[in-house]
Amino acid sequence: MSDDIRTKIGLRPVINVSGTMTSLGASIVVPEAIQAMEAILPQFVEINDLQRMASKVIARLTGAEAGFVTASCSAGISLAVAGAITGNNLLAIEKLPDMAPDKNEVLVQMGHVVSYGAPVDQAIRIAGGKVVLIGQATSTHRFHMENAITDKTAAAVYVVSHHVVDYGLLHLNEFVEIAHARGVPVIVDAASEYDLKLFLAQGADIALYSGHKFLGGPTSGIVAGKKELVRSAFLQNMGIGRGMKVGKESVYGVMAALEAWQKRDHHGIRERETGYLKLWKETLDGRPGVTALIEPDPTNNPLDRLRVVVSPSEAHITAWDLAAALSRGDHPVIVRDHEVEHRHFYLDPCNLHPGQEKIVAARLHEELEKARASNEIIATPFEDRSRHRFDGMLRWPD
Ligand SMILES: *Cc1c(COP(=O)(O)O)cnc(C)c1O
């Protein structure tokens, strides 16, 4: 571990079993992307030509007519929405987000308005979009969407995520059918999805991906879709897109990550991940108050995770206190804890360096043994966690 850059500069050597999290540095960038970035960084390039080349690679991998690279998937939402609002009107592009043309309404199902670290609706609003929520938190019906479409509707945004409500809403096929019947383009936020073709194949006009999630590229976003809409989104680089710009290294790095994705040994990686899950399950099986279940990804990515259910009366610790304990010490392990109030967290195997799975198993053993040996049940009230959630952030940089 002595050559670990993190310990050298005084950062904690966290082990990520949480997923592709921006707060942890997203993902392990693939060697192909690192080499590509290194090769292009010292050179001057004509950036729009480089983006033209990126368009070809994106088109080939996604089935889109065109594409480009931006700063993040979140930036992609803003740029795609802005493009749908302004078209190729260069003056309108400069005036955003004020004085958006009249046609600026953007439909979103209420159950899709989630936070991926920032609110989905904000990415629409900073592009001059007026968010029109359709349906209720757990129900959208055809009539909600049909009646919400007016002459001012510029686009409809559909979010694919484990965060969105997963029942009672319109599925993409029907969402597209209703939007297209009235000439409204559909923008799909597919930031975390493995399938680069599915959403465009289902009729989306634009699909957006993160370059730094499963693809293992540099921090970036991919905009893919119908040529005219993609071009209108690209033109926003002369407007609100400026603050979301990417350098040559990100454009070229993502191109390399996309090529590498095509050649990646997906089967081999799945097997390796399954091995990690089995090891952790064996480590946990039979422990009092702990149930370990291998579960598929909620949005059908070819990925399983281990769900660890913790019963405090027997394990002598709550799921959230266990998650917190794992995240401390010399070998901090960061688990996937967004549902921890349901008394479970997940272990995500997709961002590990080989060998780290054993440290994760050892840490699970260590913290669970410690809790069992405790005379009292370690149970911080859940409200305390919620109450203090942003304390550290609000003290930053101290
Ligand atoms: C991660 C994520 C985003 C944000 O992606 P960035 O590329 O980090 O901006 C947006 N939407 C969903 C559904 C996500 O999972």
Q: pLDDT, tens digit, for every residue of 77-94?
A: 999 999 999 999 999 999
The pick from 72, 81, 112, 116 for probing ligand 1's pocket by mutation, whose C-beta has the most ligand atoms within 8 angstroms, reads 116
Give the residue-averaged pLDDT of 135-141.
Answer: 98
Q: What is the CATH number of the domain that holds 186?
A: 3.40.640.10
360 vs 223: CA distance, rounded Å: 36
- Number of helices and strands (H, E) in the chain? 17, 12
Band of residue 279 on the pLDDT scale cut at 50, 70, 90:
very high
Distance CA 153, CA 124 (A): 13
Residue 361's H or E segment, with its range, is helix 356-373
CB-CB contact of 106 with 137 (8 Å): no
**Do 98 and 236 fall within a single domain?**
yes
In the DSSP assignment, the letter for residue 231 is H
Protein residue whose Cα sits closest to atom 14 of ligand 1:
191
Q: What is the mean pLDDT of residues 146-150?
A: 98
Q: For 322-378, how does the pLDDT look when each residue is reduced to its tens digit (9 = 90+)?
A: 999 999 999 999 999 999 999 999 999 999 999 999 999 999 999 999 999 999 999
Residue 75 shares a structural domain with residue 170: yes
How close is the Cα of 367 to the center of ligand 1, in Å?
32
Give the number of C-alpha atoms closer than 13 A to the C-alpha of residue 362, restricted to the C-beta side: 10
- State the pLDDT confidence band at 2, using cuts at 50, 70 and 90: low
Single out the residue in 203, 238, 263 at which a domain terminates: 263
Residues 6+ apart with CB under 8 A from 86: 92, 93, 96, 100, 101, 232, 235, 236
Q: What is the pLDDT of residue 102?
A: 87
Q: Tell me which DSSP letter residue 341 carries.
A: G
CATH number at residue 9: 3.90.1150.180
48 within a domain of the structure (yes/no): yes
Q: Does residue 300 surpass a pLDDT of 80?
A: yes
Residue 144 resides in a domain:
yes
Could you identify the atom of ligand 1 that is nearest to the CA of residue 190?
13
Nearest to 154 by CA among 71, 85, 70, 54: 85
Q: Which two tokens stand for residue 327?
A: 């995240």
Is residue 336 classed as helix, strand or coil in its secondary structure? strand
Q: Do 240 and 143 belong together in one domain?
A: yes
Bridge partner list, 134? 109
Confidence of residue 3 (pLDDT cuts 50, 70, 90): confident
Domain of 308?
Answer: 5-22+266-393
- Name the residue type at position 46: E
In a domain, 125, yes or no: yes
Final residue of a structural domain among 241, 263, 285: 263
CA angle 362, 363, 366 (to 5 degrees): 85
Which atom of ligand 1 approaches the CA of 159 most closely?
13
Residue 318 falls inside a structural domain: yes
Spatial distance between the Cα atoms of 11 and 275, rounded to a whole number of angstroms: 29
Residues 153 and 192 both lie in one domain? yes
Residue 199 is assigned to a structural domain of this protein? yes
Angle value at C-alpha 369, between 364 and 372, nearest 5 degrees: 125
Mean pLDDT value of segment 118-131: 97
- Which residues sit with their C-beta closer than 6 Å to ligand 1? 22, 72-74, 116, 159, 161, 189, 191-192, 210, 221
Atom of ligand 1 nearest to the CA of 77: 10
- What's the CA-to-centroid distance between 205 and ligand 1, angstroms? 18
Least confident span in 64-68, 370-374, 385-389:
385-389
Task: Determine the Cα angle at 253 with ends 248 and 256, to 5°.
Answer: 130
Statement to judge: residues 59 and 122 lie in one domain: yes
Same domain, 308 and 209: no
**Residue 1 reports pLDDT greater than 50:** no
Question: In whole numbers, what is the pLDDT of the chain averaged over residues?
Answer: 96
The predicted structure's pLDDT at residue 99 = 76
C-beta separation of 344 from 322 below 8 A: no
Residue 36: inside a domain: yes
221 and 290 assigned to the same domain: no
User: Residue 398 domain-assigned?
Assistant: no
| Gap from CA of 372 to ligand 1 centroid (Å) | 38
- Regarding whether 273 and 247 lie in a shared domain, the answer is no
Residues 252 and 272 in one domain: no
Instruction: In whole angstroms, give the CA distance from residue 182 to residue 163.
Output: 29
Average pLDDT rounded to a whole number, residues 126-150 = 98
Q: Which among 121, 166, 192 is the best mutation to test ligand 1's pocket, defined by most ligand atoms within 8 Å of the CB?
A: 192
Nearest to 120 by CA among 86, 174, 74: 74
| Shared domain check, 340 and 280 | yes
pLDDT digits (tens, 9 = 90+) for 197-252: 999 999 999 999 999 999 999 999 999 999 999 999 999 999 999 999 999 999 99
CA 251 – CA 36 distance, rounded (Å): 10
Q: Could you tell me whether strands 290-296 and 221-225 are parallel, antiparallel, or unpaired per DSSP bridges? A: unpaired
- Judge if 246 and 115 occupy the same domain: yes
Three-state DSSP state, 115:
strand
Mean pLDDT calculated for residue range 186-194: 97
Q: How many domains does the chain have?
A: 2
3-class SS at 237? helix
Pair 188, 255 in one domain: yes
**Residue keyed to tokens 């990804």:** 297
Which atom of ligand 1 is nearest to 209's Cα? Answer: 7
37/274 Cα distance (integer angstroms): 31
Query: Of 215, 247, 263, which one is at a domain's C-terminal end?
Result: 263
**Residue 165: other Cβ atoms inside 10 A:** 18
